[in-house]
Amino acid sequence: MINGGGGRLYRVLFRTVLRRIDAETAHRIGFGAIRAAAAVPGGAALMRRACAVDDPALPVRALGLDLPGPLGLAAGFDKDARGVTALAALGFAFVEVGTVTAAPQPGNPRPRLFRLATDRAVVNRMGFNNDGSAAVAARLRRLGRRRRQRRRVVVGVNIGKSAVVPDQHAVVDYVASARRLAGLADYLVVNVSSPNTAGLRDLQAVERLRPLLTAVRTAADRAARRHVPLLVKIAPDLADEDVVAVADLALELGLDGIVATNTTTSRHGLRSAALEIDAAGAGGLSGPPLRERSVQVLRLLRDRVGDRLALVSVGGVETAADVAERLRAGATLVQAYTAFVYGGPSWPRRVNHDLTRRLGTQPDLRR
């Protein structure tokens, strides 16, 4: 039921049941069902057989890693590394878990996750709710890098600042997570761009970002005893000159890439009713309304860094056409989240299937 028929069933289920209940509860139910299906003996293997799109046009070499395709799942869906194997079995080439903080934290008060269905968008003010880096490290340790490699599961870990930690101690907090997780991650992402932790976006300023990234780079490589690909995730709300400044800093420090972009605080251009938008309140907006700015930032970055950095494009990706547009604009890899929420478990397979056709007829899509 994960093929096209499963997609139709999910859309009916979403319209009749899931969209009528709290978005966070619906996420918990849906994600739980995916994990349960994979936990049945032989379940993950069946899911992989049903969802795999095996085509020589798809594999990508990026961040020193061999990936089965360019499409991955963005951070935010699996905050605590509870369903990595199941999500990869659905067809994601890589799964980015988190955002993970050094200290476990409950996040912001509920309700904190809202759908704007007319725009196929989501507003969240989750506030980095997660079990903490020690617990996530323990789960990844059980999963094991060798086992992941056999099953072609690439796992990135997105780290952020604990809410209880004062801004002046942010570097120490990030370093604590990096030390715990670097040896278990295929790559690390420093998240300084969520709008839902007070003061976090201030860390995007180059004078504050430089010591943070330098410290995380050193701590990660020492802890893992190898080079751990390190990326920084930036906001779409940065001015163009600030995007360029971060790109220059990433080159200066020898980072491996940039993830662009996080959610936006803007509500410009939404088609949803004003009352619905007001009811959702503050938080980061994701989904199609973010598409235009996300592509703008991607092009700006690629023009600045050339082929010296990997660029992971995220924000408003819904279709294979969107993935193709990002690849054409210079993305090395592409991530999605909100479209998966609306599209259901068969969404990755549908996108990958269509993408193979596009890659076969448009070989210039990749730089």
Q: How far apart are CA 8 and CA 2, in angstroms?
A: 10
Strands 65-67 and 60-62: antiparallel
Q: How far apart are CA 344 and CA 15, in angstroms?
A: 12
Q: How far apart are CA 367 and CA 363, in angstroms?
A: 9
Count of C-beta atoms within a 10 Å radius of residue 309: 20
**Tokens (6 digits) for 218:** 């050193």
Instruction: Please say whether the beta carbons of 105 and 129 come within 8 A.
Output: yes
Q: How far apart are CA 37 and CA 35, in angstroms?
A: 5
Which of 38, 126, 43, 22 lies closest to 82, judged by CA?
A: 38
Q: Which residues are catalytic?
A: 194
List the Cα angle 95/214/140 in 5-degree steps: 30
**Tokens (6 digits) for 53:** 């799109």
Count of C-beta atoms within a 10 Å radius of residue 187: 26
Q: How far apart are CA 122 and CA 287, in angstroms?
A: 6
